[in-house]
Structure 1
Amino acid sequence: MSILVIGEHDNNELKPSTLNTVTAALELGGEIDLLIAGANCAAAAEHAARVTGVKRVLKVDDPSLADSLAENLSPLIAKLAGEYTHVLVPASTYGKNIMPRAAALLDVQQISDISGIEGEDTFIRPIYAGNAMATIRSKDAIKMISVRTTAFESATEEGEARSKTLQGLRNRDCQSLLVRNLPDLRDPN
Structure 2
Amino acid sequence: MAVLALLVIGAGSFVGIRWFAGRDDPTLPTTTRALAAAAHRHMPAEAKLVRVREGLGNTADRFVVMLDYEIGGRPVSFSLEPNKQLPWMGDFDCPSEADAPDICEIRTLDDGTKAAVAHLTTSGKQGTGVSTKRADGEVVSVWVWPSPTVSDLPVSFDILAGMATDPLVGLKTNKKMLELGKDLDVTPMT
User: Given the two structures, how large is their TM-score scaled by the length of structure 1?
Assistant: 0.30
More helix by share: 1
Q: Relative to total residues, which structure has the larger strand share, 1 or 2?
A: 2
